[in-house]
Amino acid sequence: MLPAPDTIETTRPIDQSPGFWRDAWRHFRRRKLSMIALCYVVFLCLVALFAPLIAGTKPIVCKYKGQIYFPFMGYYLRTWENPVFFQDRFRGEYPKPLAEKDPESWAIWPLVYQDPYRRIRENEWPGRAGNPVSIEGKPSSLNWLGTNQQGFDVFAQMVHGTQIALSVGFMSMGIAAAIGICFGALAGYFGGWIDTILSRVIELVMCIPTLVLILALVALLNKVSNYHLMVIVGITGWTGIARLTRAEFLKLKQMEFVTAARAMGAGWPRIMFRHVLRNALAPVLVPITFGIADAILIESGLSYLGFGASPPNPSWGTLLHSGRSAIEEMWWLILFPGLAIFFTVLAYNLIGEGLQEATDPRLRQAAH
């Protein structure tokens, strides 16, 4: 028997469902470790963005001959550094020429006066010694994390290299995941001759040696950047993800919810990407998160073998490999980049774990 209308308590209006991603974010927020990892990654992003302000040899803002300039922009793009400094023969150094050519000039300097692309010479900054080289480049008050064999400051290199460290992983894995998931999903879901053709394509790409592709590309370009390399790594590295996705789809397409969705009239893209994919992501997430971190190590391996980006390339991986020939004496070249890589690997994997648990409704239950 229904209660009489006026005895129904006024209920709270039903909250609109926050939506899948909002909900996931709420759950993600609750995991402490994942949040710490996320904060770390955000911190790295800030460091990458403001690298020239943290470590650099170009003033952040300076007044020269009555005009205000922002020379530090030259670190982002060469043309953003005003040509007046070239015409007045500054020769790329600021401290002494600024004072000499215009006694009324002033400048605000970055936090650390060091450059990732060259060695600071004697008296470049009045009264300061030049960077030591080789095994004398221990961490010191001038070079917080030491210098490499050629005398380039490690701290400056790590700061400027953060941008590379962050983006290479996302770029290569982004491409790999996009291609791999698409191919794998299509192959697994449709089966039949589509599966046959796509599987052959996957096998073809798997068997072509990556090194050959990298060499062919490097031979063509005049200036190799990390991004070129990572696009190649992405284009050749999607096969594992494709196979994993395909296997999951082969299994999942028999499930009842797929039949139900089809009965409701959903088209195949909708079924594939909205319904099946979410359930198929679990095994794929691990290669992706490891792959993002792995990209840094791949980049360092490539630069060691000689196919890296055009020097000077201030990346963590290059630093790591430059320490190879003096591993006992120049421990700082291994320790600091190694720690940074370790924390980044850890962070990405914690975020991945958190993402998995936040997006999978089943995982929100306790396991026991």
Partner 1 sequence: MSHRPEPRSTRRLALTISILSLAVFLANASGCGSGENTPAPAVKSDSESGAKAKTAGTAGESKAATEEEEEAAAKPFVLGDLLEPFTPPSLEDVDRTAEWIDRPVLSGAEILRKKQQDKGPPTVTAEQALKLKNDYPKNKENNDIILNSVGRLAPADGAGVDFDATFVRHVSGDLKSTNPIMISSITEFEYQSLAGFGYLGFDQELNYFGSKDSIVSWQMSKDHLIDKIVLRDDLTWSDGRPITAHDVKFTFQVIMSEAVSPPAVRQGIDQLKWVEAYDDRTIVFFHKAALATNTTNIGIPVLPKHIYEKTIAADPTLARSAEHSRLEDHPVVGGAYELVRRERNQEHVVRRRESYYMHNGKQVRPKPNLNEVRVKVIEDVNTALVALRAGQIEQVELRPEQWVSRTNDDEFYARNTKVTALEWTSFHFDWNCGTPYFSDKRVRHAMSWAFDYDELLNTICRGLYEQSRGNFHPTSWAFPKAGPTPFRQDLNKAEDLLDAAGWKDSDGDGIRDKRIDGRLVPFEFTMLTYQSETGIQTATLMKECLSKIGIICNVKPTEFTVLTDSQQKHKFDAAMGGWGAGTDPDSNSNLYMTNEGRNYGQYSNAQIDELFLQGRREFDRAKRAEIYGQIHNILWDDQPYTWLFCRNSFYAFNNKLRGYNFCPTGPYNFDPGIFGLFKPSASR
Partner 2 sequence: MVHYLIRRLLLGIFTLLLITFVVYALIRHMPGTPLTTDPAMMNPSRMPSPEDIERRAKLYGLDKPWHIAYFIWLGNTLQGDLGNSIPKNNAPVTRLIAERVPATLMLSVTSLLLTYLLSIPIGLWATVKSGSFAERVVSTALYMLYSMPAFVAALYLQLLFYSRLGWLPLFGMRSDNYETLSASAQLWDLFKHALLPVICFTYGSLAYYSRFIYANMQETVRQDYVRTARAKGVPPARVIWHHAFRNTLIPLVTLMGLTLPSLLGGAVILEQIFSWPGMGRLYFEAIGQRDYETIMGLTLMFSILTLGGQLLADVLYAIVDPRVTYN
Smallest gap from residue 140 Cβ to partner 2 (A): 24
The listed partner (partner 1, partner 2, none) that binds 32, CB under 5 to 8 Å by sort, is none
Q: Binding marks (x or -) toward partner 2, 158..197, rule CB under 8 A?
A: ---------------------------------xx---x-
Decide: is 111 part of the binding site for partner 1 (CB under 8 A). Answer: no
Smallest gap from residue 135 Cβ to partner 1 (A): 5
Of 8, 219, 263, 264, which one interacts with partner 2 (CB under 8 A)? 219
Q: Binding marks (x or -) toward partner 2, 6..35, rule CB under 8 A?
A: ---------------------------x--
Smallest gap from residue 117 Cβ to partner 2 (A): 24
**Nearest to 150, CA basis, from 330, 336, 338:** 330
Whose Cβ is closer to partner 1: residue 92's or residue 338's? 92
The dihedral region occupied by 309, where left means phi > 0, alpha psi between -120 and 50, and beta the remainder, is beta
- Alpha carbon of 348 to those of 161, 226, 342: distances in Å? 17, 20, 10
Decide: is 240 part of the binding site for partner 2 (CB under 8 A). Answer: yes
**Residue 123 and residue 245: Cα distance in Å, rounded?**
59
The listed partner (partner 1, partner 2, none) that binds 10, CB under 5 to 8 Å by sort, is none
What is the SS3 assignment for 55?
Answer: strand
What is the SS3 assignment for 230?
Answer: helix
Type of residue numbered 59? P
Of 61, 76, 203, 311, which one interacts with partner 1 (CB under 8 A)? 311
Smallest gap from residue 45 Cβ to partner 1 (A): 28
What is the SS3 assignment for 343?
Answer: helix
Q: Distance of alpha carbon 213 from its chain centroid, rounded?
A: 23
Type of residue numbered 244? L
Which range, of 2-10, 23-31, 255-263, 318-326, touches partner 1 by CB under 8 A?
318-326
Decide: is 85 part of the binding site for partner 1 (CB under 8 A). Answer: yes
Which residues does 194 contact at the CB level (< 8 Å), separation at least 6? 186, 187
Decide: is 251 part of the binding site for partner 2 (CB under 8 A). Answer: yes
Type of residue numbered 27? H
Q: What is the DSSP letter of 2?
A: P
**Nearest to 337, CA basis, from 76, 169, 148:** 148
Residue 62, strand partner residues: 69, 107
> What is the contact surface with partner 1 in residues (CB under 8 A)?
78-79, 81, 83, 85-87, 89, 91-92, 117-119, 121, 133-135, 149-151, 215, 218-219, 222-224, 305-308, 310-312, 322, 324-330
